[in-house]
Amino acid sequence: MSNREAMTQDYQPDTSDGSGELEKNKIKEIHNKIPDEIIPKLGLEFETEDAAYDFYNSYAYRVGFSVRKSKAHNNTKGHIIDRVFCCSCEGYHEKDKRSTSVNNPRAQSRFGCLAGMKVDCPSTGKFRIVQFIAEHKHETSSPSKTHIHRSHRKITPSLAYEIDLAESYGIALKASCELMARKVGGREKLRFIRDDYKNYLRSKRTIQMRLGDTCGLLEKNKEGRSFAMSIGVDHHKLSTIFGAELLYDETAEIFVWLFETLAKSMLGKKPQTILTDQDAAVAKALSLTWPETCHRLCI
């Protein structure tokens, strides 16, 4: 069962008769099993909005639901007067405008749940709980699935270091996740899922590209050798990798060989336009091998 299927299975609205009373009894049972100090109470104050959110999110983890920030009201100076932290099933999604024939329709995840915690910010500057609704209009998750919910997933700096280390040694994502889960005592204690792992690596690479580490033709492998990728657009207007080469160095002579070899592999066809970084050796090699090609610099 996938993470999405597991979450959807737990997050089904209970529409049977007496469901409200059953949910109240369930919440009471949960409250009896968790420390009293983590249960929201009217009048409880926090120094910051983030502290109030973290408190309610910790409570939500023990009960079995996800949290998101909802309504906020500001004064004329733009300062927050009050804020609502609600169950992620609060409200309703707008009608899906996509065709009903799609293979994977969007799972329903909002059922008009009223559970939440409202805090205000009086003249004292502290955030105080002024409203707390504990009951939900849906079944909360079992302890083994609570970690799947979005508000409880986070890659901490220590986990990020382990991910970076695994990637540098070429450990596959699946094997790395299993190893990290075993170290903490199970997937439910890992506090992130594979999608978070993938998104972290994707974001990291995007940042590196913005910093210029991979702008243009070249990247660097572990040994410091230049790895060139020739990416273009095919006749279907889709991005395509036309070539990949491991270079000994980054001299003009090497780039001349690269462009001549690439043209030969493409049956003599040369691109009309090429985008590269501002490397002088690349520019020189292009003027010698593809003088008719329009050379532009990547941003």
**Amino acid in position 40:** P
Q: How far is CA 81 from CA 70, 118, 121, in A?
A: 13, 11, 5
CB 232 within 8 A of CB 242: yes
DSSP, residue by residue, the chain: --HHHHHHHH--B--STTHHHHHHHHHHHHHHHS-GGGS--TT-EESSHHHHHHHHHHHHHHHT--EEEEEEEE-TTS-EEEEEEEETT-S-PPPP-S-TT-SSPPPP-------EEEEE--TT--EEEEEEE---SBPPPPTTTGGGSGGG----HHHHHHHHHHHHTT--HHHHHHHHHHHHTSGGGT---HHHHHHHHHHHHHHHHHTTTT-SSEEE-TTS-EEEEEEEE-TTS-EEEEEEEEES---HHHHHHHHHHHHHHTTT---SEEEE-S-HHHHHHHHHH-TTSEEEE--
**Whether the predicted pLDDT of 4 surpasses 60:** no
What pLDDT does 3 receive?
A: 40
What pLDDT does 5 receive?
A: 37
CB 123 within 8 A of CB 37: no
What pLDDT does 44 receive?
A: 94
Read off the pLDDT of residues 10-64 as tens digits, 9 standing for 90 and up.
Answer: 434 444 445 567 777 888 888 999 999 999 999 999 999 899 999 999 999 999 8
Tell me how many degrees the CA angle 159-160-163 measures, rounded to the nearest 5: 90
| pLDDT: which is higher, 91 or 155 | 155
Write down the pTM of the prediction. Answer: 0.57
